[in-house]
Amino acid sequence: MSYKAPVKDMLFNIRHLANIDEVAKLPGFEEAGFDTAAAVLEECAKFNEGVVAPLNVAGDKNPSSWKDGVVTTTPGFKDAYKQFMEGGWQGIQHPQDFGGQGLPKTIGASCGEMLNSANLSFSLCPLLTDGAIEALLTAGSDELKATYLEKLISGEWTGTMNLTEPQAGSDLSLVRTRAEPQPDGTYKVFGTKIFITYGEHDMAKNIVHLVLARVQGAPEGVKGISLFVVPKFMVGKDGSLGARNDVHCVSIEHKLGIKASPTAVLQFGDHGGAVGYLVGEENRGLEYMFIMMNAARYAVGMQGIAVAERAYQQAAAFAKERIQSRPVDGSINKSAPIVHHPDVRRMLMTMRSLTEGCRAMATVAAAAYDAAHHHPDADVRKQNQAFYEFMVPLVKGYSTEMSVEVTSLGVQVHGGMGFIEETGAAQHYRDSRILPIYEGTTAIQANDLVGRKTARDGGATARAIAAQVEKTEGELAKRNSPAAKAVLKRLSAARKAFSDVVDFIASNTKSSPNAAFAGSVPYLLLAGNLVAGWQLARSLLAAEDLAAKGEDKAFMQAKVITARFYADHILSKAPAARDAIVDGAESVTALPVDAF
């Protein structure tokens, strides 16, 4: 089934939830108002619908292949990537100083969603390049920036993140890759890295690997890790490509999903050592890598929203075509399309409302990122930074867990045909399953939310968010519509449940860590549920106002109904989540380890 970018919904969020006209008042974004957003999104939609989306099924059926160290991508990928590069899409939200377009994340995030919806496997290459760019912008020397950034931002070269090793998955204290200082200031890098997305491919002239390694004599554990740039091909002073560096792909993985994305095993230093260049200072590599990881974690959350949107579109189209049984209300006196059956409608509304709720949450988070980096007032920057950092584990964790549920429902809507590969519903389900795992599992996001984002400040940021939700409740209370009243009831109950859990987490993390962390993932899912529901409540308020003015009544009515469905069927689960976290911690760890 063809993909149609949900531009109207994206622009609604950008205008009415993220307040793009306020973003456009920030220094450097003066030209990035609503009209710019609309023009960019329309152009982005054309490219992704016409060029990238048609390759999605082909990539699943004919994935990347490896032979004698060379990786060949799916037919059509190389040409599509060339068009992606020539269109300037890699540089959309990167600085103009290095050839980017300098647009806000508020706009760039929607472009990222479209690319991911069109083809999740294809999109992973630009996603990892974005992370490499962010790390070099933050910690790279002037020389590294001058050598690599322009080519990365143009898309002429691509970037990777090299963290994981066979013995060091999420625990980076176990990293063994070593870096030996050389007299000329470079380093020789030796080691093996696994799960390296687009670690080798044929779409770009050079691949810039960012690699975690230990310098000889460095402290043990995470405090002794440094970050290095290790290019596939050496780069001359004039920017020209020289000899092949000592880094080689020894195999690629065979995976459940995202099959067209080559996941490489890279060997550094088999022939004397790979030449590496230190990023920033020695032993601060993990700090720099977190810059890449935070950029990538938000982007993976967008992947969840993207694949959910694709699955929803396909399920809705199928439900309107597939004829099975008479409707239970007798409205049609013969077998009819399954979209008339209440349970199919429930599944479609669940898919739709979860996707739209997470999109709204991510868009608002993007606007906070823009304010955190560009607002002239230091206090405003600080507040927005705290809000954005709290949102990252929610966007990553909640949106990706949501995507697995939504794509599974997509298979269910198709019935037996969903289990058959030809329909394409199964691909979305398979592709989505990696999303709650890579760039930090949901549990790792939840540990971050508990430890760094909630306990560290005694719950202050979380309570500030709850206070903002309460303001929205006040606005809902002024409305007389049945939808506003229903959403108010559920939003208020969810906010109170969230506040209870914040108090529990803040008071138990140090004194009873097992109790706090036993509910860490449920806490993340509760927080994501609340914030998505809150943004849909804001959507309802805006849609009711716009409908009253006669603006696109059918679209606005759908926004109101979707917000109410979310409140009735998804936000309503929040009090039960509160009970499980606060009252159920003991039973999580009560069974002795030997009994498992």
CA-CA distance, 389 to 395, in Å (whole number)? 10
Q: Per this entry, what is the length of the chain?
A: 596
CA-CA distance, 210 to 203, in Å (whole number)? 18
CA-CA distance, 116 to 304, in Å (whole number)? 9
CA-CA distance, 430 to 256, in Å (whole number)? 6
Q: Which neighbouring-strand residues pair with 263?
A: 197
CA distance to 200, 231, 233, per residue, from 206 (Å): 10, 7, 6
Q: Which of 439, 473, 544, 586 is catalytic?
A: 439
CA-CA distance, 199 to 243, in Å (whole number)? 18
**C-alpha 83, offset from chain centre:** 23
SS3 category, 596: coil
- Pairing of the two strands 241-244 and 233-235: antiparallel
Alpha-carbon Rg for the chain in angstroms = 24
Nearest alpha-carbon partner for 105 in 391, 351, 445: 391
Which residue's entry shows tokens 């399954």?
338
CA-CA distance, 402 to 382, in Å (whole number)? 30
Which residue's entry shows tokens 């996941």?
263
Phi, psi (rounded to 5 degrees) for 529: -60, -45
CA-CA distance, 286 to 275, in Å (whole number)? 20
Q: CB under 8 Å to 441, separation ≥6 — which residues?
A: 170
CA-CA distance, 352 to 544, in Å (whole number)? 19
* Element containing residue 561 per DSSP (H, E): helix 553-569
CA distance to 314, 321, 327, 347, per residue, from 338 (Å): 14, 8, 8, 11
Q: At what angle do helices 105-118 and 7-16 cross, to 10 degrees?
A: 160
CA dihedral 415, 419, 425, 428 (to 10 degrees): 130
Phi, psi (rounded to 5 degrees) for 174: -95, 5
**C-alpha 147, offset from chain centre:** 28
Contact 442, 400 (CB under 8 A): yes
Whether 439 is a known active-site residue: answer: yes
Contact 460, 382 (CB under 8 A): no
Q: CB under 8 Å to 238, separation ≥6 — which residues?
A: none
Residue type, position 416, single letter: G
Task: Give strand ranges (E) for 112-202.
Answer: 157-162, 178-181, 187-197
CA distance to 13, 29, 103, 531, 552, per residue, from 108 (Å): 13, 13, 7, 21, 25
Contact 95, 108 (CB under 8 A): no
Residues tagged active-site = 439
